[in-house]
Amino acid sequence: MTLNWKTGGLLLGFVFFLAVLLVKPIGVSTQFVILDGIVADAVSPGFITQTEDGYTSTNAYMAKLDGKYAKSAANPLNYSFIFVLAMMAGAFLSVRARGGLERGEGTMPALWRANFGDSAAKRYAVAFLGGFVVLYGARLAGGCTSGHMMSGMMQTALSGYIFAAGAFAAAIPVALMMYKKEA
């Protein structure tokens, strides 16, 4: 079952609208920093400490903003962290609903197959690398695609429009270079 892009776009817009209306704008890249803090504190107890003023960390990045990130890592059951976990669960359920990851005609896009072959390992490696580059850039920019572009544009923030223009200015030439053959 596939979702029409128009219907999907309207549903996505509605979800973003509800999130801003009821809770706060959606942004998820910070939650990967929080996950890093949770893991670091599990591996090295004392990485995050509670003080009489709140939380802090031996890591300057986790301690910035008066320990906001350290506090979130110490108490991760908050809206944003659960939202990220729910995104992963939703992706897993979507894959299962479509029949799983078994190799078959429907699981590997024809465009990918035409340009790069049938290697699932290659596809996973490229997807991981692309995700890593996007996440690194997002953290460098102080946000993420959902925070800057989706939530930012929805709130008519100039930075959201600038980010969207930059994202497409980079994505279009990369797609043209990667996908030279048509399906």
Span 10-20, pLDDT tens digits:
998 898 888 88
At residue 71, the pLDDT reads 93
- CA dist 109 and 106 (Å) reads 7
Write down the domain spans for the chain: 8-100, 108-183
Q: Over range 70-79, report the average pLDDT.
A: 89
At residue 37, the pLDDT reads 92
Q: Over range 122-142, report the average pLDDT.
A: 83
Q: Are 183 and 114 in contact (CB under 8 A)?
A: yes
In whole angstroms, what separates CA 32 from the centre of its chain? 8
Burial class (CB in 10 A: 0-12, 13-18, 19+), 90: exposed
Tokens 């509800």, located at residue: 18
For residue 132, the tally of other CB atoms under 10 A from its CB is 10
Choice between 14 and 96, residue whose per-residue pLDDT is larger: 14
Q: Are 3 and 98 in contact (CB under 8 A)?
A: no
Q: Over range 57-65, report the average pLDDT.
A: 90
